[in-house]
């Protein structure tokens, strides 16, 4: 978009190049969203996919999302320049309501009312409840197989939103594939 104003605005200084030959961010990106030095394909970025995208997350990126349910900072965490950053003392940056210690199964069990209650004042709220469930479903699909995970997913199979149902079905298929793989390994071990 563009913004037209009749005020003189200062011109930003061009960003200086500090990366040199470092390509750590390119190498660590789970979805290869950083396609070249200083070049990001936002459509592949987990932060875009889990925060900005309102529709279905493309199949090709779901496994790479792993257990991330709201954004990804791998490129920021690996960047040598960010070793100089300090943890903010600002209260808005502290995880609320124990969100950093809550299991995926518990997060998936939240009602829409719970979602609004626990994300009040947080940027997480802006993705909305359906995208929240979409993201948690993907993370559960990527989790190790367990009966509890499957039960949590089955509880949302009939969700009224097609977006949620689609991602729940994908996650259940992932869980069933992992269960079948574990059975095959077990049978092979018994035969040996």
Exposed, middle or buried by CB within 10 Å (0-12, 13-18, 19+), for 5? Answer: exposed
What is the model's pLDDT at position 16? Answer: 81
CA angle, 11 as apex, 7 and 15 as ends, to 5°? 150
> What pLDDT score was predicted for residue 187?
67
pLDDT of residue 125: 95
- H and E: helices and strands count for the chain: 9, 2
Q: C-alpha angle with apex 188: 183 to 189, nearest 5 degrees?
A: 100
pTM of the prediction? 0.86
pLDDT digits (tens, 9 = 90+) for 4-47: 899 998 988 887 888 999 999 999 999 999 999 999 999 999 99
Encoding tokens for residue 140? 């559960």
* Closest to 143 measured CA to CA, from 68, 60, 45: 68
At 40-93, the pLDDT tens digits run: 999 999 999 999 999 999 999 999 999 999 999 999 999 999 988 888 888 777
Q: What is the pLDDT of residues 137-180, one digit of tens each?
A: 999 999 999 999 999 999 999 999 999 999 999 999 999 999 99
Share of the chain above pLDDT 70, in %: 95
Q: What is the rounded CA–CA span in Å between residue 72 and residue 34?
A: 13
């Amino acid at each position: 978009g563009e913004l037209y104003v009749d005020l003189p605005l200062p011109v930003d200084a061009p960003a200086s190049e500090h990366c040199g030959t470092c390509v750590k961010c390119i190498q660590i990106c789970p979805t290869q969203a950083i396609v070249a030095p200083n070049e990001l394909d936002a459509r592949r970025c987990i932060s875009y996919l889990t925060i900005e995208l309102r529709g279905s997350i493309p199949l090709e990126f779901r496994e790479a999302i792993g257990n991330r349910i709201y954004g990804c900072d791998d490129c920021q965490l690996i960047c040598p320049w960010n070793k100089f950053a300090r943890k903010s003392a600002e209260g808005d940056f502290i995880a609320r309501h124990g969100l950093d210690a809550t299991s995926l199964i518990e997060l998936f069990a939240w009602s829409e009312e719970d979602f609004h209650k626990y994300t009040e004042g947080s940027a997480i709220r802006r993705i909305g409840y359906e995208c929240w469930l979409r993201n948690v479903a993907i993370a559960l699909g990527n989790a190790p197989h367990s009966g509890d995970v499957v039960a949590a997913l089955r509880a949302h199979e009939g969700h009224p939103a097609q977006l949620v149902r689609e991602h729940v079905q994908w996650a259940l298929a992932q869980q069933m594939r992992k269960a079948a793989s574990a059975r095959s390994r077990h049978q092979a071990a018994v035969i040996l």
